[in-house]
Homo-oligomer: A and B are copies of this chain.
Amino acid sequence: MKNFDAKEQTEKVVQFIRDYYKSAGVGGAILGISGGKDSGIVAGLMVEALGKENVIGVTMPCHSKEEDKTDAKLISDYYGFELINFDITGTFDTFKNELEGLGGFSEGDLKNSDINLKPRLRMATLYYLAALYSSLRGKTYLVAGTSNKCELYVGYFTKGGDSVHDISPIADFTVEEVIKIGEYLKVPEKVLYKQPNDGLSNQSDEDKLGVKYADVAAFMEDENAVDEKVAEKIRKLHANNLHKFNIPTYKKSA
């Protein structure tokens, strides 16, 4: 975070988004609004770049807390973009019912599958709505991604879920840098300083990972900046994560 200039970086990201939209000949952005800071800040950047009339936010509760929806509303009211609610609880439950045909499974067996099904259904929902509104409104909507650099480094995302999107504005910013941008954009404080959690497992993201994002950011700049035990944990998370990006592919020439 040496010499991080939030104003300069915000202006550059906004220009990057505008340039890409112009070159690709597309017009709208759609993104999931979880009620957390990352999606709030990406929404702010897309509104800044494209205008609020070209941004659609989507809340996709799935057996979720009402609070997340309230915070999503706070963000959409603040920026003035359209907010759609698409409840995926029914879709999730129907999927799970279908599973009963395969045998009786314990909650423990299903836990990991359940946790990752939700972001995958959310991705499918965003792309469904992106195509629908592109057709209805005669401009192409892109799905905006909300992953930050720390999450991407340690693999805190779901392959085939939130990792699937069409433009990635904050993927090169650490959590601390994302917050600086949020402060510059005046994202409502309640959202900006909320302890992030996935809304799925009732644990904070950092609890689940077992590392602090501040340590991940420090490690990425200098491996010796954190305790060796912490460094080892981050190295392991990062190594386990690499397969999500590089699909092993047979090549004839090999």
Contacts and interface: CB of A to CB of B under 8 A. Distances in A.
B88 A98 contact: yes
Contacts of A145: 247
A165 B252 contact: no
A253 to B, nearest CB: 8
Contacts of A12: 250, 254
The list of the 4 closest CB pairs from A to B, nearest first, reads A120-B124, A160-B164, A168-B249, A94-B94
Interface string A116-129: 11001101110111
The DSSP consensus for interface residues of chain A is helix
A200 interface: no
Contacts of A165: 247
B94 A91 contact: yes
22 contacts: A12-B250, A12-B254, A16-B248, A20-B248, A86-B98, A86-B101, A90-B94, A90-B97, A91-B98, A95-B128, A113-B128, A121-B124, A123-B160, A145-B247, A159-B164, A166-B247, A166-B248, A167-B248, A168-B247, A168-B249, A171-B250, A172-B251
Given A160-B164, A164-B159, A165-B247, A109 B128 contact: no
